[in-house]
Chain A
């Protein structure tokens, strides 16, 4: 048996102080004017299930903690309690506690925790107007694939990082190759060129040949054995190595430029208020659409003169800037990987030099300084690694200062080793051997470097293939599956949209994954013979709203099978009366098993829903409530819905003549308006839309007199009108405070109201109670309920 909400108890949340709603597992319909706390009820239910109130999220300066609780209470006072049936299970949520749902409610909670059962007015258009990525997110939260987007994004990050590593290694490879070419005075194409070239060098000075590159160390030793070493030989050998290494730049200017560039990109991301940019993007996007379609040289908003072409170009340029944001994030990841590699090279160089520095007594004191600098550089690596979180800028100045310190130390070591070399004593023979050894050493070092880089490239390339295949496979599978879901759901969307808009030319509503983007969904439909149009291009706001509703409901139907709850918070305000009736049909036919909670400030929509409950014999499935009053101190005062007649009776029972008369007059106004509309009576058009009772009464009477043939039905109508006409003046008198009011008796008021009710009854189907309509093509007056088993039918002239 499906679980349903039995009772909701709300304390100190938004506009509610204390409220208890006894729903008894039924559908709930709430009417209330704007600002009377309807949405607070929805907020409370959302908070209960998800621990959040989605419209308080992501807005600067607004938070759940500060703006969730009632203004006169603290956050600890905020509490929501919901009782479920079957089992009469009561669960509670507040800021510090959430009851754990029992086993049989777990799947229900899995759905409701995502807030994917609520549709608010502001969210309807998320499916339609928003950008493809936002539409995808809106749908993703219903179908429960948000976490898959994170997985895909992380895979993409890994893919970007390895790509950055490979690019860096390729540059390193090229650089070392050039350095080797310079040392050996010959262009080196690859590793295979090194051994022949070095052997050629050795042959020139009559030294023995090297058999393989692995022999480097052994060979240097061999060369040393060819000569008689003096005492200072080893030291000079070390100094020459230190000198040779330190003559080369330690920190390339390029790396500092890259850090500046990285910081600029991060600053751009940090400066971008993503939410704000999203809104701006929507405004610009819609504005551009209007500019393109309107083809006017006036601003569509302020109607001032504009240069349309120029404005369109500026808007397009701004939109391109906003689209760049996600590309920038990817660039940051690649660039930081690259910079880290370069700093690691600096660290390696310092560590290598330090090995030699430690062995020369006059330089050994510099060893500690080198180690300190290595620690500082490793800190910089850490900071740059964290740039991918986009939380803070890089302190470029500090890094620059650090690089300057390292460069200064490097220069100092170089200078000092040079000075020590100048005063060293060495023979000509020794010098020659040392030069040769030094050259071989250099080739050796570079060869080791190039082999390392080559091995890294090989390793990264293998990882890259894995990362690439993993990312693209995941992305393709995800897109294919979601597209399949879209295909399955499209029939429902089409079917629901047809229910709301029968015989209108909308076909092939299509949700479509954009293949070249990571997470984006397009919406298209065929209309007026044009295929695959963006609905925003050609259909009205009301149609867009109902399309949004159909998309939401289609996903709910497919994915929220284990959850009966659907909340529609004021979602039909732009849809006209005729189409709203069709929405009633859609909800009561297709979602009759769901626990609908519908809130509205629209009296007509409320009446239509009440009326359709009767049509579908579902009065007992609904709790119909009305918020009669709200104040900050009381919160919403909510009462069960009463029919107009029940309200009149209540006032008569209390002896409230004016109140009952006023209700009676409003009742009459409503009935006469309905009769005029349904019977197609002619009423002189008034711009204000306000008609006198007399005007409506005359028009209705004349129309029916002309329309109806002599019959029992006509006689009854005539009698009801005549009965009313003798008392209608009471309605006018009682609706205003005047002296005559006092002379009117309670019985007279009751008699007036009864005559109104009597007129109303004449226009209701005796079988199902639905209002009668005039059908011009059939020339009949008939019950307007297509499902009526025995409809009243009266032939007309």
Chain B
């Protein structure tokens, strides 16, 4: 596994321990990473606010 992947794996593992990050948002982060879209500010904003809108609905 290359360093980039190792860093991402550890990052996701740490996020899982944070109560604010649901499985859904972590899966979305993984999806962005796989599609190399995590470098887009827009996508990150969407990810964060999207997770929040779900909270509001609930």
Interface residues of A (CB under 8 A from B): 143-145, 147-148, 150-151, 154-155, 157-158, 161-162, 388, 459, 462-463, 465-467, 469-470, 473-474, 476-478, 480-482, 485
Chain A hits for B39, CB < 8 A = 147, 150-151, 154
A sample of 21 inter-chain contacts (CB < 8 A) reads: A144-B2, A144-B3, A148-B7, A154-B39, A154-B40, A158-B44, A459-B56, A462-B20, A463-B49, A463-B52, A466-B51, A466-B52, A469-B18, A470-B48, A473-B18, A474-B11, A477-B14, A480-B10, A481-B6, A481-B7, A481-B10
Total residue contacts A-B, CB cutoff 8 A? 75
User: What residues make up the interface of B, taking CB atoms closer than 8 Å to A?
Assistant: 2-4, 6-7, 10-11, 14-15, 18, 20-21, 25, 29, 36, 38-41, 44-45, 48-49, 51-52, 55-56
Q: Which residues of chain B are near A155, meaning CB under 8 Å?
A: 44
Write the nearest CB–CB distance from B26 to chain A, whole angstroms.
11
Q: Which residues of A contact B3 (CB under 8 A)?
A: 143-145, 481-482, 485
The distance in angstroms between the C-alpha atoms of A189 and B6, with both chains bound, is 50
Which residues of the other chain, B, contact A469 by a CB distance below 8 angstroms?
15, 18, 20-21
* A151-B39, A463-B52 known; A473 vs B4 contact (CB < 8 Å): no
Q: Is the CB of B45 within 8 A of A158?
A: yes
| Cα(A147)–Cα(B32), bound, Å | 14
Asked whether B49 lies within 8 Å of A459 as measured between CB atoms, the reply is yes
B-chain residues with CB within 8 Å of residue A148 when the two chains form the complex? 4, 7
* Chain A residue nearest to B17 in the complex (CB): A473
CB distance from B53 to the nearest CB of A (A): 8
Chain B neighbourhood of A465, CB < 8 A:
20
B43 and chain A: residue at smallest CB distance: A154
Main secondary structure of the interface of B (DSSP, over half): helix
Chain A residues with Cβ below 8 Å from B44 are 154-155, 158, 467, 470
Chain B residues closer than 8 Å to A467, beta-carbon distance: 44, 48
B25's nearest neighbour on chain A, judged by CB, is: A466
CB B42 to nearest CB in A, in angstroms, measures 9
Question: With a CB–CB cut-off of 8 A, which chain A residues contact B52?
Answer: 459, 462-463, 466
B7 adjacent to A477 (CB under 8 Å) = yes
- A161 and B45 alpha carbons, distance in the complex (Å): 9
CA distance A462 to B49 in the complex (A): 8
Q: A466-B20, A473-B18 are in contact. Are A154 and B48 (CB under 8 A)?
A: no
Task: Give the 6 A-B residue pairs with the shortest CB-CB distance, closest first.
Answer: A477-B11, A477-B10, A466-B48, A150-B39, A463-B48, A158-B44
Q: Which residue of A lies closest to B52 (CB)?
A: A462
Q: With A478-B7, A481-B3, A481-B6 as known contacts, state yes or no: A473 contacts B15, CB within 8 Å.
A: yes
Complex CA–CA separation, A158 to B52 (angstroms): 15
A161 neighbours in B (Cβ, 8 Å)? 41, 45
Q: How far apart sit A148 and B44, CA to CA, in the bound complex (Å)?
A: 14
Please name 13 further chain A to chain B contacts, defined as beta carbons within 8 Å, in addition to the given A154-B38, A162-B48, sorted by A numbering: A145-B3, A154-B41, A155-B44, A388-B41, A459-B49, A463-B52, A466-B20, A466-B21, A469-B18, A470-B44, A474-B11, A478-B11, A485-B3
Cα–Cα, bound, A467→B44 (Å):
9
In the complex, A395→B41 CA distance in Å? 25
- How many angstroms from the CA of A71 to the CA of B14 in the assembled complex? 55
A550 to B7, CA, bound (A): 25
| A151 and B14 form a contact (CB under 8 A) | no
Complex Cα spacing A463 to B52, Å: 7
Q: Provide the residues of chain B in CB contact with A388, threshold 8 Å.
A: 41
Q: In the complex, which of the residues B6, B29, B44, B55 has the most CB atoms of chain A within 10 Å of its own CB atom?
A: B44
Q: A145-B3, A481-B7 are in contact. Are A158 and B48 (CB under 8 A)?
A: yes
B41, A157: Cβ atoms closer than 8 Å: yes
- Please indicate the chain B residues that have their CB under 8 angstroms from the CB of A470 in the complex: 15, 29, 44, 48
* Contact status B55-A462, CB under 8 Å: yes
Provide the residues of chain B in CB contact with A473, threshold 8 Å.
Answer: 11, 14-15, 18
Least distance between B35 CB and chain A CB atoms (Å): 13
